[in-house]
Amino acid sequence: MADTKAVESARHALVAEISREVADVRVLRAIGRVPRERFVPEEARGYAYENRPLPIGESQTISQPLIVALMTQALQLEGDETVLEVGTGSGYQAAVLSLLAQRVISVERIPRLAEGAERLLADLGYSNVEVRVSGDRVGWPDAGPYEAIIVTAASPESPAELLDQLAMGGRLVIPVGSRTLQELVRIVKTDKGAVRHNLGPCRFVPLLGSSGWPEPAS
């Protein structure tokens, strides 16, 4: 489906806004190519190009576009990587990653969200993304080690299991902190250990399970 003029110019304006804080042209170009309006619920489409998170059902959110861009930039992708995303949600971040890497494995704990994202990504032609429903383990060791890992849910600490799934020289980007406020952290795995930098404050929905926060009682 061709973009309407209005959608095109709204997306362009969003990219211009993000470019004030994100310099990586490849990342900006990818944001400019992904139809965010398709990843939000029908009733929220009018807000798809505002720079803010939006609800996607199941008490989850599609991240703020600026945060998507900052996290993607911090992964320093060159195009030949296999990337792991933890927290598929709507599939939007996975679509952005798919334009910048060779293969994307994206894991989600809520089957309904995983199914919806998988269908949408296939419909839109993002054929190098594989969505998986994750169980108890965090991540997806079977397809690792990964050159880049992005976690789009907040964790009290960076899970050791994810560092194990990261290749030497690989980058892990994850929000770390309390349930309500976190710091975006970039960790590089080197032969001398993990090197950690803070990228700034952020606010994400919680990572649930053994490596994150306790699952809600059902």
- 60 touches ligand SAH by CB under 6 A: yes
Please count the residues of this chain forming the interface with ligand SAH, following the rule CB under 6 A: 24
Candidate ranges 20-28, 172-180, 183-191, 200-208; the one touching ligand SAH (CB under 6 A):
200-208
Instruction: Say whether residue 107 binds ligand SAH (CB under 6 A).
Output: yes
Give the angle 40-57-172 at the CA atoms, nearest 5°.
75
> Interacting stretch for ligand SAH, rule CB under 6 A, among 8-16, 73-81, 84-92, 188-196?
84-92
The amino acid present at 152, given as its one-letter code, is: T
Other beta carbons less than 10 A from residue 125's beta carbon: 9
User: What is each CA distance from 176 to 12, 93, 105, 123, 205, in whole angstroms?
Assistant: 31, 18, 21, 33, 11
H or E stretch at 176: strand 166-177
Please tell me whether residue 153 binds ligand SAH under the rule CB under 6 A.
Answer: yes
Does 175 engage in binding with ligand SAH (CB under 6 A)? Answer: no
User: Measured from the CB of residue 192, what is the shortest distance to ligand SAH in angstroms?
Assistant: 29
Among 24, 108, 118, 147, binds ligand SAH (CB under 6 A): 108
Give me 206's structure tokens.
Answer: 């919680």
Annotation marks residue 90 as catalytic: no
- Residue 177's contacts (CB-CB under 8 Å, 6 or more residues apart) are 154, 156, 183
For binding to ligand SAH (CB under 6 A), which residues are involved? 60-63, 86-87, 89-90, 92-93, 107-110, 113, 134, 138, 152-153, 205, 207-209, 212
